[in-house]
Chain A
């Protein structure tokens, strides 16, 4: 009896120990998120304190690397740059991506379907520096020849970002379309609707939440993309609104990667504040996705 009891005790103790290990490793993600937010916030405090919200949200940008407190550090130029580039990325990318998803799900013959599916996966895996280098050596010179500008700017960044968010939006939209009950499509076709009527009036409306989530994730990809954008956006310190397509400008990410290496003091802290703004963008997008998917459950 005693021996059996001890065996059971050992057994339970082992299971409890395992559970503790598992919970600990799952908690590491919580720790990571909080550490990242805490450190980025802590490092941006000096900028928030000395430059102030008014100074940070202005167009004045005159960093003084030698004497940081003497400079002015407005972040509006890169914030607007990020918004402009993302706007065009989604305007170019989303229709193409959703169209490709519909094509894969509905129209493509079996053989082509798997080729395109595989191709989209490969496109997702191409490193961003390579797409940036392609943009710098092919796209920017092409834009330079067509327009009378130097080719850098929102247009180049928008196209590069469209290419990079295409696979994200496509694959999640395909998943959304696949998740629809087959009866929906069958019923529509059986009623005599054409393929296009079925897609536009039955399938896409039914999958709209999934497609919306796909687009939001695409926006996230575009906002956070760094290297490729830095290579084609021009890195100039002038504001470019979405309609100023060929004006070299900066984005938050391009600013960060260009300045982080050689900034000190308040200047360095401003770079972290730019990172903080990116984090806030990311959090807003996550909350938007939560809202969209919660609505679906109801």
Chain B
């Protein structure tokens, strides 16, 4: 009887814990959207430019900066991470070198983003003389996100059944041709989902970017070496400086807009994964 009672109490406690966790999420997103959505949907706010110490500034240059940095970073991350993942999943034997590469990838993944910011500032901003710029920021977040993309790509490659490879190899295709024509296409949904999640992470990144890309920008960056100010970093900057009289509304609006962008991308990532998975499964049945 005592065991039964303990079980009933535990069940109630775990239900409460589960509900508390989910309500934390609902509460935070609810508050951010409630406070900021009204501001975030005003065209003059989205498409306007920041006005420094005057009220009524917009955030268009930051939105564009965020997307430029994300695009450029992906441009660097994708080839390197996919090639590394192919090496780790398809070619590497379990030896000293492979284990060392994996250790380094793990170490890179565990370093705090602010350390990447310090590194980017030393090397890209000062040593290379690029100053606060799109390219310095993009390379810094590329380094930061490389290990996660690499790991998810590696996992996607490993989840492709061995029979696919055997079938292709037995038909006389070379190892590389097998990877390119059979393994990579089958792993695409997984790689795509991982990439989309990375887009969400880069859009939200601030610590590594404020002192590599820039804090605030009055105009849309027009070259790789122009300073840029991604939205997440700008939110931090505006609330720290508190310069404009309506800084609270600006932060509220920017936070709501950023949250919506990140949520849309994260939901999209799952959708794409599910869609492709269904399609490939359907295709398999037809065969």
> Which residue of chain B has the shortest Cβ distance to A258 in the bound complex?
B240
A211 at the interface (CB under 8 A from B): no
Tell whether, in the assembled complex, residue B239 and residue A133 are in contact, meaning their CB atoms are under 8 Å apart: yes
Tally of chain A residues near chain B (CB < 8 A):
87
Residue pairs across A and B with CB atoms within 8 Å: the count is: 240
Q: Which residues of B contact A48 (CB under 8 A)?
A: none
Which of B10, B121, B236 lies in contact with A129, CB distance below 8 A? Answer: B236
Is the beta-carbon distance between A133 and B255 smaller than 8 angstroms?
Answer: yes
Asked whether A134 lies within 8 Å of B262 as measured between CB atoms, the reply is no
Instruction: Let me know if A29 and B101 touch, CB within 8 A.
Output: yes
Partner of A14, one of B100, B176, B239: B176
How near does chain A come to B275, taking the closest CB pair, in angstroms?
Answer: 16
What is the number of residues of chain B that contact chain A, defined by CB distance less than 8 Å? 82
Interchain CA distance A26-B242 in the complex, whole Å: 44
Nearest chain B CB to A257's CB is how many angstroms away? Answer: 6
B88 at the interface (CB under 8 A from A): yes
Q: Which residues of B contact A129 (CB under 8 A)?
A: 204, 206, 232-233, 235-236, 255, 258
Taking chain B's interface residues, is the majority helix, strand, or loop, or is none over half, making it mixed? helix
Q: Within the assembled complex, what's the spacing in Å between the Cα atoms of A128 and B32?
A: 13
Bound-state CA distance A217–B251 (Å) is 30
Bound Cα distance A224, B14 (Å)? 30
Q: What residues of chain A lie closer than 8 Å to B91, measured between beta carbons?
A: 19, 22
**In the complex, what distance in Å separates the CA atom of A176 from the CA atom of B200?**
26
Beta-carbon contact of B119 and A102 below 8 Å? no
Interface of A, helix, strand, loop or mixed by DSSP:
helix
A22 close to B266 (CB less than 8 A)? no
Interface string of B258-269 (1 = CB under 8 A from A): 110011001000
Does chain A have a CB within 8 A of B246? no
* Closest-CB distance, B24 to chain A (whole angstroms): 6
Bound CA span A226–B116, Å = 12
- In Å, the complex CA distance between A14 and B18 comes to 54
Residues of A within 8 A of B22 (CB): 115-116, 119
Confirm or deny: B220 has a beta carbon within 8 angstroms of a beta carbon on chain A: no
A279 contacts B111, CB within 8 Å?
yes
B114–A226 contact, CB under 8 A? yes
C-alpha spacing A272/B266, complex, angstroms:
34
CB <8 Å contact, B113 and A224: yes
B116 CB → nearest A CB, Å: 7
- A40-B118, A130-B255 known; A26 vs B84 contact (CB < 8 Å): yes
Contact among B10, B24, B116, B197 with A199 in the assembled complex (CB-CB below 8 Å): B10
**B-side interface residues toward A, CB under 8 Å?**
3-4, 6-7, 9-11, 13-15, 17-18, 20-22, 24-26, 28-29, 31-32, 35, 79-80, 83-84, 86-88, 91-92, 100-101, 104-108, 110-119, 121-123, 143, 146-147, 150, 174-176, 197, 200-201, 203-207, 210-211, 232-233, 235-236, 239, 251, 255, 258-259, 262-263, 266, 270
**4 shortest interchain CB distances as A-B pairs:** A224-B112, A127-B204, A99-B17, A194-B7
